Amino acid sequence: APDITSICKDAGAGVNDKENAVRTLKCCPPSIGKKIKDFVFPTDKKVRMRWPAHAGTKEQVDKYRAAIQAMRDLPDDHPHSFVSQAKIHCAYCNGGYTQVDSGTGFPDIDIQIHNSWLFFPFHRWYLYFYERILGKLIKDPDFALPFWKWDEPAGMPIPEMFVPEKIDGKPNALYDVYRNADHIKDRIVDLDYDGTEKNIPDKQQILCNLSTVYRDLVRNGGDTLSFFGGVYVAGDDPVKNGDPSVGSVEAGSHTAVHRWVGDPNQPNNEDMGNFYSAGYDPAFYIHHSNVDRMWKLWKELSLPGHVDPTETDWLDASYVFYDENEDLVRVYNRDSVSLDKLKYNYIENSKEVFPWRNSRP
Ligand code: C2O
């Protein structure tokens, strides 16, 4: 676990052009003098139901946009501000923290929550708090995030609500200037994007995407570590992107969407194309909500081998976040596995939960 209250460095790792970086490399959280509390499961009566972003009602979209606007309106140094939330990703992914566990551990080795089995649980917790903070900002205890449902044909285009620069003459809180404008115009995502344009008809792109989902959840994700990513424990150097042990979804559709949305004309492919800046695009959280849903679907496939890690090293790995009450809380992988306990879930299309199940590549 990081010691986020005292040791945090400026971001560096993974940012190639630091001089021209369009976002700040100062990613440490406002944390002076705070005590870290233990996490307690929510006692909410209702389960927050995350909704498919392409099919949200006007009310859902308006609320979501208002919540993001409220986050943007907070002063940057507030732990709930849009900028503070974006910096969480930067600090955990670009060398902000080291592996100090309350004074012991490996203070010279960086923490990296990507490219290993920390990927799914870390991002689950990140969104868990992000969602509750947004709900609190608009005083809606049932507030739930949308998800970019790129595993179903209708959900493959980047959701319309992210596209306009302005809405009724006012800036659209969901818009981000640092995106690949050509992709946003054409809209249908390429889940296998590697930096080269396929230029294939939409119909073909849709089929290709369905095969990619099948590849990530079934063919390449047949056992725990293939799906989650390889073992990464205290004392290990951060695992590199491109390492064969990176989990199937993380290495596949997850990274492809980051690259597809990011702007290749920016020095570090900001925003979505680099860890340090990804959190500045509201689309990041919607993409990750679907990535999180892939974890759920993978288990629901109930294939042999589709089981969560049970190693103590995984169960006991922890992170620290600001919760919706501005308290710093420590959370563990072990508490991330049950959506029931975390009081959120995903609205599924009852007819077709796995529209890609016959899309074996
Ligand atoms: Cu933390 Cu999609 O990256």
Is residue 351 scored above 80 in pLDDT?
A: no
Atom of ligand 1 at shortest distance to CA of 93? Answer: 1
CA 133 to CA 154: how far, in whole Å? 29
User: Which atom of ligand 1 is nearest the CA belonging to 255?
Assistant: 2
Q: Is the pLDDT of residue 322 over 70?
A: yes
Place of tokens 């849009």: 82
Specify the pLDDT at position 10: 80
Active site residues: 89, 114, 123, 254, 258, 275, 288
Measured from the CB, is residue 89 less than 6 Å from ligand 1?
A: yes
Q: Is 304 left (phi over 0), alpha (psi -120 to 50) or beta?
A: beta
CA atoms of 281 and 149, how far apart (whole Å):
17
Residue 290 C-alpha to ligand 1 middle, in angstroms?
12
**SS3 at position 292:** helix
Residue pLDDT, tens place only, 143-190: 999 999 999 999 999 999 999 999 999 999 999 999 999 999 878 999
Nearest-atom index, ligand 1, CA of 113: 1
Confidence at residue 90, expressed as pLDDT on a 0 to 100 scale: 87
User: pLDDT tens digit string along 108-154?
Assistant: 777 788 989 999 999 999 999 999 999 999 999 999 999 999 999 99
How many angstroms separate the first and last alpha carbons of the chain? 39
Domains and CATH numbers, the chain: 36-346 (1.10.1280.10)
Look up residue 251 and give its two tokens. 């290495």
Confidence (pLDDT) at 32: 63
Ligand 1 atom 3 nearest Cα: 275
Ligand 1 atom at shortest distance from the alpha carbon of 114:
1
Is 229:117 a contact under the CB 8 Å cutoff? yes
pLDDT tens for residues 15-68? 889 889 989 888 888 876 688 999 999 999 999 999 999 999 999 999 999 999
Q: 258 in ligand 1 pocket by Cβ < 6 Å?
A: yes
Residue 287 CA: nearest ligand 1 atom is 2
Distance (Å, rounded) from C-alpha 295 to C-alpha 303? Answer: 13
Environment class of residue 302 by beta-carbon count within 10 Å: exposed (0-12), middle (13-18) or buried (19+)?
exposed
199 token code pair: 């230029």
Q: Is the CB of 254 inside a 6 Å radius of any atom of ligand 1?
A: yes
Largest CA distance in the chain: 56
φ, ψ (nearest 5 deg) of residue 318: -140, 160
What's the ipTM? 0.99
Six-digit token string for 216:
């990530």
* 3-state class (DSSP) for residue 256: helix
Nearest to 122 by CA among 85, 92, 144: 92
Q: What is the pLDDT of residues 248-285, one digit of tens each?
A: 999 999 999 999 999 999 999 999 999 889 999 999 99
With residue 171 as reference, give the H or E element that holds it: strand 170-171
What are the E-state strand segments in 218-324? 318-322
The DSSP string of 95-127 is T--EEEETTEEEEEEE---SSSTTHHHHHHHHH
How many whole angstroms from 261 Cα to the centroid of ligand 1? 13
Say if residues 156 and 348 touch (Cβ distance below 8 Å): no
Ligand 1 mean position to 74 CA, how many Å?
Answer: 24
Q: How many residues does the chain have?
A: 361
Q: What are phi and psi of 292, to 5 degrees?
A: -60, -40
Using 50, 70 and 90 to split pLDDT, how confident is the model at 103?
Answer: low
Q: Ligand 1 pocket, 48 CB below 6 A?
A: no
Cβ of 124 less than 6 Å from ligand 1 = no
Residue 114 near ligand 1, beta carbon < 6 Å = yes
Task: Give the DSSP letter of residue 38.
Answer: E
- The sign of the torsion formed by the CA atoms of 224, 229, 234, 236 equals positive
Cβ 343 under 6 angstroms from ligand 1: no
CA of 275 to the centre of ligand 1 (A): 6
Locate all alpha helices (DSSP H) within 74-100, ordered by sequence. Answer: 82-93
Query: Which of 30, 23, 41 lies closest to 8 in space, CA to CA?
Result: 30
Which pLDDT score, from 0 to 100, does residue 185 have? 83
Q: Cα separations (Å) of 112 from 1, 85, 256, 311, 353?
A: 11, 17, 19, 19, 32
Query: Ligand 1 centroid vs 291 CA: distance in angstroms?
Result: 9
Instruction: Please tell me the distance between residue 168's alpha carbon and the centre of ligand 1 in angstroms.
Output: 32
